[in-house]
Amino acid sequence: MVSKLLALEAYPNLRDLDFRILRGVELNMRRHRWVPLEDIARFARVDVETASFRLGKLDDLSLVRRRSDIGYIGYQLTIHGYDVLAIRALAKKGVVEAISTTQIGVGKDADVYVGITPSGERIAVKFNRIGGRTASRKATYHREVFADKRHTSWLYVSRLIAKKEYEALTLLSPIARVPRPIAWNRHVLVMEFVEGRELAELREGELSREEAAKVLDDVLKEYLKIVEFGIVHSDMSEFNIVLSGDGVLIIDWAQHVTTVSPESYELLKRDITVLLNAFRRRWGVKRDFDKIWKDFEMAWRKSRGDRDGD
How far is 193 from 248, CA to CA, in rounded Å? 14
101 φ/ψ angles, rounded to the nearest 5 degrees: -90, -10
Which sign, positive or negative, has the C-alpha torsion 10, 16, 18, 23? positive
79-92 and 154-172 helices, crossing angle to 10°: 40
How far is 79 from 81, CA to CA, in rounded Å? 5
How far is 181 from 190, CA to CA, in rounded Å? 6
Residue of 111, 235, 252, 271 marked active site: 235
- Tell me if residue 235 is catalytic: yes
* 20: number of Cβ within 10 Å: 17
User: Measured between alpha carbons, how far is residue 222 from residues 40, 113, 232, 242, 254 in Å?
Assistant: 49, 26, 12, 13, 18
How far is 268 from 158, CA to CA, in rounded Å? 24
| Residues designated catalytic | 235
